[in-house]
Amino acid sequence: MKHKVYIDGQAGTTGLQLRQKLQNHKDVEILLISEELRKDEAERKRLMNEAEVVFLCLPDDAAKEAVKLVENPNTCIIDASTAHRTDPDWVYGFPELSPLHKEKIRHAKRIANPGCHATGFIAAVYPLIRLGIIGTDYPLTAHSLTGYSGGGKAMIAEYEAENRSPLFDSPRQYGLGQQHKHLPEMQYVTGIDTPPVFCPIVVDYYSGMATCIPLIASLFKKKVTKNELLALLTEYYKDAKLISVGTEETNFLASNPLSDTNELKLYVEGNDERMTLISVFDNLGKGASGAAVENMNLVLGLDETTGLL
């Protein structure tokens, strides 16, 4: 018997990617809603309560309303929106952060799927805090490059328009007011005292992400060299099947080599005085639908990489 899953909001970018991944998943059956009933609350409710796992690929307010439709206590909801990522009643869906995170996900009925930029930031910073290398008061900054698919259907249409603005030919920094929606999540999950100074940048390619965190060794709580930090992070993620740690042999690091995958590679670069941690992954994979499938696998008692490698 296959596990029944339902995607609420399957017409959006994340929903479409998720459906594509699940169609190739040997252990699940996707419950489909007819196009004319896509916004019919009664039909959505019926399918949600029939499913073992419901994915919410909706705007925040719509996701909060959708949760109210689920009355089956055995149905697990995995929310891909921002709505519940700092809600203590929801489990944060990043299993590689610790054995406790993974165990909580296995038994959860409410899982908040991480945001894309937040995934890159948290993958680098959470271990630094946990290992005592930096304190929660460290003045963190982050620059994060993303492909334009991260902006959803509207941004994809803008970038792929025949007569688009020439400004789209160059990287564009956004979130200039330091109010990006992933900042509360970054602070909440890592436990840092204040959010980082965050500079997201959208680039003219479809998918891929590189989140860079600069570090000053003289501000560390625990003094480590670059190679020591590399060894510590390699050990930290040694059991992670979708996260690896390494360093780049050249002076160039692209932000899209893991596009169309569900993996993340954490690079340790720089020197003993000034270092950078760079998370490279796909904003639509480990940064969105891939992470959602990973969480679903754990909930259903499957190997977390099923359908992802």
> What is the pTM (predicted TM-score) of this model?
0.97
Average pLDDT, the chain: 96
Q: Indicate the helix (H) or strand (E) that contains 55.
A: strand 53-56
Give residue 12's pLDDT: 85
**What is d(CA 122, CA 159) in angstroms, rounded to the nearest whole number?**
28
Residue 209 predicted with pLDDT over 90? yes
pLDDT tens digit sequence for 73-112: 999 999 999 999 999 999 999 999 999 999 999 999 999 9
R_g of the chain, CA atoms, integer Å: 19
Beta strand pairing call for 197-203 and 172-173:
antiparallel
Q: Cβ neighbours of residue 36 under 8 Å, at least 6 residues apart?
A: none
Q: pLDDT-derived band of residue 212, with 50, 70 and 90 as boundaries?
A: very high
**What is d(CA 61, CA 173) in angstroms, rounded to the nearest whole number?**
26
- Which of these, 108, 136, 110, 91, lies nearest to 300 by C-alpha position? 108
Residue 30 predicted with pLDDT over 90? yes
**What is d(CA 305, CA 241) in angstroms, rounded to the nearest whole number?**
7
Residue 4 predicted with pLDDT over 90? yes
Residue 35 predicted with pLDDT over 90? no
Cα torsion 98, 197, 246, 231: sign: negative
**What is d(CA 71, CA 35) in angstroms, rounded to the nearest whole number?**
24
pLDDT tens digit sequence for 143-202: 999 999 999 999 999 999 999 999 999 999 999 999 999 999 999 999 999 999 999 999
Cβ atoms < 10 Å from Cβ of 49: 16
| Residues catalogued as catalytic | 116
Give residue 10's pLDDT: 85
**What is d(CA 283, CA 229) in angstroms, rounded to the nearest whole number?**
25
Mean pLDDT of 207-232: 98
Give residue 75's pLDDT: 98
Give residue 172's pLDDT: 97
pLDDT tens digit sequence for 254-294: 999 999 999 999 999 999 999 999 999 999 999 999 999 99
**What is d(CA 295, CA 302) in angstroms, rounded to the nearest whole number?**
10
Give residue 39's pLDDT: 87
